[in-house]
Structure 1
Amino acid sequence: MTRKKIGIMGGTFDPIHNAHLLAAEQARDAVGLDEVWFMPANIPPHKQRPDIADTHHRLRMTELATQDHPQFTVTDIELTREGKSYTVDTMQQLVDTYPDYDFFFIIGGDMIAILPKWYRFDHLSTLVRFIGLMRPGSVYDKEALSAYVTFVENPVWELSSSLIRENVRTGKSLRYLVPPTVECYIKENRLYEHFA
């Protein structure tokens, strides 16, 4: 039986935006993933920003953003587990739950170089292969990293969740930055309006 290839796209998704979706699709297509599971990260109790959206909002926006792609789905595994969420613990739980799947963790170009410094990386690298989304012009020691990273070219798109939050605060358009369903959700729930 062929093992299913599952990509994991983690992030705060506050909010999820079109660059997240594009990156997941590039990884899916390049590596031949059967599915990509979007995994909103838990936020530590000492929230970094006063305007961070509650867990249920971030989860719902991620569900709305991915609902029209048959190979995209959402998992709340990090949101429902108690305590700190380290990637190694999450991946161990997924591997234990789905022993017949092969997991691929999708990371941005900024994370590739520091990957070996991740918590318990030696063990993590036995649980999952990484898909590194490269930016044109970025320099990596591909030979050293190739044991645990599959490199994928990714179009440059300078889009961030902080830009979207700022657009909300200043009344600027979100069109083409987030899916229409996410834009409607942000407006209906008045997210990101009140903090500078």
Structure 2
Amino acid sequence: MRKVGILGGTFDPPHNGHLLIANEVLFALELDEIWLMPNREPPHKEKSGAVTNDNRLQMLNLAIQGNPAFQIQPIELERTGPSYTVDTMKLIHSRYRDHQFYFIIGADMIEYLPKWHKIDELIELVQFVGVDRPSYSCQTEYPILYVDVPSMEISSSMIRDRLKCGRTVRYLLPESVIHFIEENHLYGT
């Protein structure tokens, strides 16, 4: 049975914090691979509208180049409507019956778990893996494995704001992603 970690997000843009989390969980839990799964319409967030789904996929491909353990799982982009994790995981389970899934979430989402759509059903489908984020609590009654990840206070919204203001994002994003953003004039560049 393959052990697969899933890191979902808008990846608008994908940054070094995403990559650090994925890599730390990969090795800490001795997983076979990590699937980065961009959402179409996360029910808990407003979509920035700054880039297309194709742009996000291209940036994500650039970000994971050179790491064969990282794959992109575009299943949520293939669906329409809000991206409820329980629906996605049912679909993934039907396609990959010989896999065990570890769903990676930050402490901000750990706090939000009681509000997740059909959470009791979801915890039967995946093993949640929690990673710490500054200013959030990791306390929950739900079964979660914790992985200690070096703290990086980076968010996609902070990066978008910096780009819009013409500030540097060097070392926050992979260089290939920075070049893509500049070449395609994304986020006000």
Q: TM-score, normalised by structure 1?
A: 0.88
Per-residue deviation, 1:82: 2.0
Give the whole-Å Cα distance in 1 for the aligned partners of 2:32 and 2:63.
Answer: 18
Per-residue deviation, 1:167: 2.0
Report the aligned-residue RMSD: 2.0
User: Could you say which residue in structure 2 is the equivalent of 1:96?
Assistant: 94
Structure 1 unaligned runs (5+)? none
Please say if 1:54 is aligned against 2:49.
no
Per-residue deviation, 1:75: 1.3
Give the whole-Å Cα distance in 2 for the aligned partners of 1:102 and 1:54.
Answer: 31
User: Could you say which residue in structure 2 is the equivalent of 1:14?
Assistant: 12
The structure-2 alpha-carbon separation of the partners of 1:83 and 1:184, relative to structure 1 and needing over 3 Å to count, comes to same
Q: TM-score, normalised by structure 2?
A: 0.91
- Contact kept in structure 1, 2:111 and 2:136, CA below 8 Å: no
Give the whole-Å Cα distance in 2 for the aligned partners of 1:20 and 1:86.
Answer: 20
Give the whole-Å Cα distance in 2 for the aligned partners of 1:43 and 1:23.
Answer: 22
Give the whole-Å Cα distance in 2 for the aligned partners of 1:91 and 1:125.
Answer: 10
Q: How many correspondences in the alignment? A: 187
What code does the residue aligned with 2:3 have? K
- Contact kept in structure 2, 1:4 and 1:34, CA below 8 Å: yes
User: Could you say which residue in structure 2 is the equivalent of 1:182?
Assistant: 177
Per-residue deviation, 1:83: 2.2
> What's the secondary structure of 1:42's corresponding residue?
coil
2:187 paired residue among 168, 176, 192: 192
Give the whole-Å Cα distance in 2 for the aligned partners of 1:185 and 1:158.
Answer: 23
Larger CA Rg, structure 1 vs 2: 1
User: Could you say which residue in structure 2 is the equivalent of 1:162?
Assistant: 157
Per-residue deviation, 1:141: 4.0
4+ runs deviating over 3 angstroms: 47-51, 135-142
Per-residue deviation, 1:136: 7.1
Give the whole-Å Cα distance in 1 for the aligned partners of 2:106 and 2:48.
Answer: 26
Give the whole-Å Cα distance in 2 for the aligned partners of 1:138 and 1:166.
Answer: 22
Please give the residue correspondences for 1:1-196 in structure 2 after superposition, counting only pairs within 5 Å: 3-43=1-41, 48=46, 51-135=49-133, 139-141=137-139, 144-145=141-142, 148-193=143-188
| Matched-pair identity in % | 45
